[in-house]
Amino acid sequence: MSTEDIWAVAASFGEIFAVESPPTHSDMDVAFRRARVLSPQSAPGSGIFSISKARRITNAFDQADEGKVDGLIRALVSSLVAKRVFEKTHDEVTQNLLAELRRNLARVERELSGSSQKRV
């Protein structure tokens, strides 16, 4: 799993979380806790300023050492599954984003459903 591939996955998650709601920031908090990574909703010392979902995902991948990346990927996929994102009828843009996520997960040997690759 190359660093470039991991960042492609992070970017895909960021784009999907940015256009889909739910999942919410609270759902993301649950995913980050499960993966044991930090990504606060507010910028340090700002109090009120809220960080975008995409930025929070980037921050979470920044925080995740190599041993936590798999857990972070699983937790984010679980968050999307729990909110039935993969079951909804979407516009063409969102369908393309979901297809890109699947391609990028395959690059890191993960997929959303059965085969010889690791399932998430």
pLDDT at 21: 83
pLDDT higher than 60, residue 115: no
| Peptide bond preceding 40 in cis form (omega within 30 of 0) | no
- The first and second tokens of residue 44, run together, are 């340090």
pLDDT at 68: 92
pLDDT in tens, 36-91: 998 878 766 656 567 889 999 999 999 898 889 999 999 999 999 998 888 887 88
pTM of the model: 0.84
* R_g of the chain computed on alpha carbons: 14
Compute the C-alpha angle 77/28/44, nearest 5°: 140
pLDDT mean across residues, the chain: 84
